[in-house]
Amino acid sequence: MGEFELLARVRERLPEPGTQVWLGSGDDAAVTVPEGATATSVDALVEGVHFRRDRASLAQIGHKALAAALSDLAAMGAEPGEAYVVLGVPKDLDEDGCIELLDGIGSLATATGTTLAGGDITRSAELILAVTVVGHGPISEAFITRDGARPGDALVLTGELGGAAAGHLLLERPGLADGLPEAVAGALCRRQLTPHPRLRAGRALAATGATAMIDLSDGLGGDARHLAERSSVGLRIDASALPLADGLAETAELAGCDPLALAVTGGEDYELLAALPPAQIEKAAQALRDADGTRLTAIGEVVAGSGVEIRLPGGELLEPLGFDQLA
């Protein structure tokens, strides 16, 4: 497989570039004309660390790499713009395999209005995907950073927690799925394999007054701590308010682990955690329903101080495992 031939095949399959893209793939660089401010993020997935080829199809791996990168744009409230993809291709992945992988990226790009504007393909020992995404907004201040949460703000969360972690368990221990309705097990596995970045929800939260926002890639426990640290505030989360994915409780029981711990420490849900004034909660929830039906749940509050407390119904604190211990 020659790099140039593969690149030519890839370029043929790219959807039409977006209006801000003046020159797409095929030159020394892509040329775009951003009409305001840009948010840029980069995310890498490595075989054996972030995925296994015997658990996910190549298209799913491609989808997830772009989804993880776009999720950072969702957390800024940005409009997705361009993506640049580095592919490290091991010897046992042929040209058709590369195309399947890039088709997985391309499908999500098309679905989200993202232009694949460039990339690089190289040999490597293991399969690697590094995706840079550029999102757009009218002005810098329109993006929601992690550092604007203020005491008195409410904490809200999109969607449900723990689905990706439950899906991971089901994929690791296939026998577990026998104890679940097929549709439920399938949905949980999809949460793990092909997560969807909350782009519309992120923009709706930005438009309705979110003061700080972060996406949950490492798990609520760890990511909430990042938001608290950057905003120099404390966060109090009500464990009983946490929206849990359908089938999480059953999967946890079958696997012999605590559903709440899974929900709080399991990463890769790619939901959004935001702070916003309590008076805005209902408006924000309505905006999310209007945007794409995503559910919004108030799960706690921002307080003066530091750290993250997750309080159980009985009043005692949940001590979530950190990201480091889990990984």
Binding to a copy of itself by residue 48, rule CB under 8 A? yes
CB of 93 to a copy of itself, least distance (A): 14
Residues 311 and 233: their CA atoms lie apart, in Å, by: 17
Instruction: Tally Cβ neighbours within 10 Å of residue 159.
Output: 21
The single residue among 18, 62, 80, 88 that binds a copy of itself, judged by CB under 8 A, is 88
Q: Which residues contact 141 (CB under 8 A, 6 or more apart)?
A: none
CB of 77 to a copy of itself, least distance (A): 10
| Residue numbers 284-323 binding a copy of itself by CB under 8 A | 323
Q: Which helix (H) or strand (E) holds 251?
A: helix 248-255
R_g (Cα) of the chain, nearest Å: 20
Residues 89 and 101: their CA atoms lie apart, in Å, by: 11
By beta-carbon proximity to a copy of itself, the closer residue of 32 and 114 is 32
Three-state SS for 84?
A: strand
CB of 61 to a copy of itself, least distance (A): 15
Residues 199 and 41: their CA atoms lie apart, in Å, by: 14
Residues 242 and 161: their CA atoms lie apart, in Å, by: 7
Residues 106 and 101: their CA atoms lie apart, in Å, by: 9
By beta-carbon proximity to a copy of itself, the closer residue of 84 and 266 is 84
Binding to a copy of itself by residue 29, rule CB under 8 A? yes
Binding to a copy of itself by residue 109, rule CB under 8 A? no
Binding to a copy of itself by residue 132, rule CB under 8 A? yes
CB of 128 to a copy of itself, least distance (A): 6
Residues that bind a copy of itself (CB under 8 A): 2, 4, 22-23, 26-34, 36-46, 48-50, 72-73, 75-76, 78, 82, 84-86, 88, 117-120, 122-126, 128, 130, 132, 134-135, 139-140, 143, 145-147, 213-215, 230, 323-324
